[in-house]
Amino acid sequence: MLFYNHAWGTFDRATADAVEHSRYLREFADFEVRTTTGADGKVWTGRYLRGRETYLEVFGLGDVPGQDGELGAAGLGLSTERDGDIEKLKVRLRAAGEKPIDFLQTRDFGDGKPVPWFDSLFLVEKYERFGAWAMEYRDEYMDDPRSKVGPARFPGDVTRERYLPDAYQDKLMRDITFIRLAVTPSDLADTLPLLRAGGFSLWTEDGSVTATRGGTTMRFDEAPLGRTGLERVEFALNRVVGRHVEKLGTSTLVVGPGKRAVWTF
């Protein structure tokens, strides 16, 4: 029902600036720096690395309002593939004793008229440093020519592949296969019901939880405040390459050898 859509992390300014101005990342991935105006006029600036179905969003200090713009903040979006599945998810969550919170995210394309972007479900109103949510793209956005979304392949097609552009085909990055996050015990506890209801397979071991579904594995390690954040991202590549190491601020991206890349923060 749910699949990994994207993760984001907030890093020091040196790392964010290195990512933003990296020539190599523009060869590695379908890369974009974009400032977005969402619901209630909230504005954020992200650096996006997009694949076939999955993507990564990098923030620097202050690029997002409030606590999301602080060092060590991170988030995770899990999306449906068929229109209406988010309502089924809501039923599952309520049956499990949860009280899902509805939120409509919008996007302003610059004309001052917000377009419904995606429906989302949260399980808590406030989190410490990490928040996860479920999302389902809206027809109003998918059908808007400014979104540059591809045509539907079946009725109710709100897939990640439809949403993301096909520019990844000319780059190295194909998709994200693994992410590792350090999160507080409280934030992890608030995330688990969403993963269970979303159909992820879960393994728990020594303060860590690993969730797998649909080609992407996510590992959550318990950590105290001050030591949280997105720590590692692994990628599947479109083709075999030799080894290349790219330093980006305090982070390191190792590409190859083979059809795999690893970015550590």
pLDDT per position as a tens digit, 209-228: 999 999 999 999 999 999 99
User: Which band of pLDDT confidence, cut at 50, 70 and 90, is reported for residue 104?
Assistant: very high
- The mean of the pLDDT values for the chain is 97
What is the distance between the alpha carbons of residues 99 and 77, in angstroms, rounded to a whole number? 18
pLDDT digits (tens, 9 = 90+) for 152-200: 999 999 999 999 999 999 999 999 999 999 999 999 999 999 999 999 9
Average pLDDT over residues 246-265: 98
Provide mean pLDDT across the span 54-71: 97
CA separation for the pair 8, 4 (Å, rounded): 12
Would you state the pLDDT for residue 177? 98
Q: Is 5 left (phi over 0), alpha (psi -120 to 50) or beta?
A: alpha
Give the model's confidence band at 43: pLDDT under 50 very low, under 70 low, under 90 confident, else very high.
very high
Burial of 141 (0-12, 13-18, 19+ CB in 10 A): buried
Residue 40 confidence (pLDDT): 87
pTM, rounded to two decimals: 0.97
The whole-number pLDDT of residue 35 equals: 97
- Delimit the domains of the chain by residue range: 3-264
Confidence check: pLDDT of 128 > 90? yes
Asked whether residue 229 carries a pLDDT value surpassing 90, the answer given is: yes
pLDDT at residue 170 in the model: 98
